[in-house]
Chains A and B, each alone.
Chain A
């Protein structure tokens, strides 16, 4: 079975000039990642070929240990492959220097983590503004205010993370990612720590960003979540076993149940 797949089709999206003409494009060619654990070589990714060239909502699914998070880390330039190539927003991550990879994360890619990773000493608004400051966006104050409003937490801006619920914290994390203005959003199990209702809310926000022109990649083990994606890439033992629209067609968020 070939690992090459056909890209999904999504409407065109304005590209942020800071990242060049390939603002949302992701190209993984024969990507392999191996780790040495003691005396054993572990192959986390094995010859992955994946291309995302337009804004879309892509779900990456698979069982625990299949390499989903490793794949996300490669795309986000948090890690480098053993072999193959990774190209994101026109930057060859494989051969890029550490400072170039930092630059990529600053101007092209933003993260949302399962454990939120907010800064406990900053308020909600300040956490969001961190994203704007890191990306050196113009008018970071206004931008962060907008992003926080966008996720519906303008009235909680002065609260510290420990004063927010899990869902609110994750929404702040999303706002932080939005405040960067980066065209690619990588979310690693964004609903993993949340209850169903809150998880659905978060998915709604992510879907909204995809419709607005961002490329949103969500790693999840929850196949229900994959139903609202435009494209589902399934991994197993480090390999892509399927890549295409969700089985049974794209669902509405209101139809989800888990």
Chain B
């Protein structure tokens, strides 16, 4: 007997050709599943890259501007002759460790932008930074984003305005502002020094970009404007690479004291900008990682289910192969190739989606944090992590049905109806009950119930995408409602209220306060106190910085809304009103005692720090935990009886808040006047970056959810081809057949939407209670889903899933009935 056998290469080629035909017949489904995986991996790569981008951008930006290693700041009110600080620094033993040094004059002032901006005038505290402008700048350079910097000519009087302040208020690239004393300063550019990449506001608030105007001026100009001719009070140093900065700092302290002055020596790491910009990265990244993992999980689950179903349809052919004696490993080649096709396409498409998503996030980062250097290189390692899943999932999804097929006896696999539903309790139960109407009415629910595992996986696959969508949109809803609550609380009563900050404490009946009250366009004033304080937690790291405002609860036009408790407690003891977030973070309830660390005025008129226990009288409506309130009558416990440092000014008659701002700015004792609405606007703007990321993510997730819904339904329609052909053979019009399909899809859509809503709320709750507390620690955010979000979830989950069959009308109409009637399951 002569036997012949094919070489392995020919067998492989044969299986590859067959696999290529599979691709051609399923290419829409394969490409769609690949896109699903691509979106999951791309969003994961994009969101997962932000930490490294921010780190690299921060590093590059600080390095590009030669940010100081050490800074010498003389005590408030202390100045020395220009050159003396340089001399003192040069006299230290470790002078050779100092690579570059520059003297500066940094003074507080006020700025009036007049009407150069798009909106109202801005009248806020300012900081004048007098410095040298050299090219190249040896230390602490200014990055000028727009316009030009002053020249090195000492006679140049132009300035650079801090860019974030200008952006917040819509100010142009060049203009003229007035500073305290009525001096005009022309700025020719918008820029920022590295230590001002981030700063806290004058009142210690973190949402500060619009509250402080920084002007970078030539040293001579700053000396002239501030009235400190030839004086300096600040110096910045860059050290050589191997310098011992602690040792240098110690020597500097001694050297300054020899000048008869005292100074604070701070390092780069002490700067708010450095601390916050780097600290925020890891906190924020944990948040984004959770979100991106959810999106990737949804994509992976859906892809697994969809590929599983495509390969499942080949089980009979696998059985035929087994019956013909084909070795099992060879039988696995063809179905596994479907997984490989998806994996390859998904990986390639994922790169593209990753670039797109990454570009979108990179642009957002650039727009919200103006830095001289932005680094957004594609993070191949992050992409690789997600891509691994994108490769493993399709192959595993193919392997499972292949394994199941190879397990059964060939005769079982070949038998007609092998894949048809088996008995289960659900169908058995429903067989006893009929919905009113024809058999076409029974079919959708029966079809859903007769394959409970497939139904469940399909619903979960679509539901997982809706979970991600609900979580992202819910985040936007929750933040949006929180911001609205804050805004409502700030602006209730009279939205034109202007908050006038005084330079120090003044008696309530002082001429300073009287001048404000008597100012034209001011109708009524409520004078109060604002004091920075710290609420002490069990662990010092959990202490909360507060801005305590003393309000005349009985008489003031504006008083905080109390949502729980009251403004006072029994026995006339002072009670503090806290934000819900602050109370929760401190573990305090109404009636509990919290300890406040705060300055208290001494008998000599100075201030000391003390701890005061206070009972939590109530919870106020403002979601921002920074704000706390006490009755003005309790100010005596703080040594401030009868004193005020903030005035709420209300416009009179037809006057506007701008009129009031202008009327009070420049009055003695007034450091700033801001509309109260500006506070919530500043908070909105501070959260804009975060919310913008969510919007981009929501867009990607929406596309993902629709793709999954479309693909799931398409495969379901394909699986029921023979049933649809039978209905057509019995003369049912296409619209009736479509009606059955649409209803079946709608049932799965309802299940998926329910899963998505529940899952989304659970995930959202977890995100807001665990992760958001580190990302946005100062804002108390409650879970909230708007009707729009629920509607979107329903549209994506129900309507799109139910409507997908309508996209397949042409396919149904052109179905080859004779062939479809012979399809064997």
Contact = CB atoms under 8 A, between A and B. Distances in A.
Nearest to B732: A134
A234 to B, nearest CB: 21
Interface stretch (B394-402, B419-427, B747-755, B799-807): B419-427
Nearest to A166: B416
B761 interface: no
A140 interface: yes
B417 A162 contact: yes
A98 B809 CA distance: 14
Interface residues of A, number: 41
B555 interface: no
Contacts of B728: 102, 105
A191 interface: no
A112 to B, nearest CB: 10
Nearest to B444: A121
Contacts of A158: 431-432
Contacts of B731: 102-107, 134-135
A69 B423 contact: no
B723 A119 contact: yes
A208 B427 CA distance: 34
Interface string B719-731: 0001100111111
A162 B420 CA distance: 8
A73 B818 contact: yes
A76 B440 CA distance: 22
A187 B722 CA distance: 17
B367 interface: no
B730 A120 contact: no
Nearest to A158: B431
B729 A78 contact: yes
Contacts of A129: 438-439
Contacts of B316: none
A162 B422 contact: yes
A121 B447 contact: yes
A57 interface: no
Main secondary structure of the interface of B (DSSP, over half): helix
A122 B729 contact: no
B824 A115 contact: yes
Q: Which residue among B416, B729, B733, B818 has the maximum number of chain A CB atoms within 10 Å of its CB?
A: B729
Interface in A67-121: 69-70, 73, 76, 78-79, 98-99, 102-107, 110-111, 113-115, 117, 119-121
B420 A79 contact: no
Nearest to A101: B731
A24 interface: no
A1 B567 CA distance: 111
Contact of B439 (A78, A102, A111, A122): A122
Contacts of A70: 818
A160 B729 contact: no
Q: Which residue among A103, A129, A158, A162 has the maximum number of chain B CB atoms within 10 Å of its CB?
A: A162
B452 to A, nearest CB: 12
A160 B438 contact: no
B460 to A, nearest CB: 21
B727 A120 contact: no
A121 B821 contact: no
B391 to A, nearest CB: 36
Contact of A163 (B423, B438, B442, B449): B423
5 contacts: A102-B733, A111-B730, A117-B821, A121-B449, A134-B732
Interface of B: 416-417, 420-423, 427, 431-432, 434, 438-440, 442-443, 446-447, 449-450, 722-723, 726-733, 813, 817-818, 821-822, 824
Which 4 pairs of residues, A with B, have the shortest CB-CB distance?
A106-B731, A121-B446, A105-B731, A133-B438
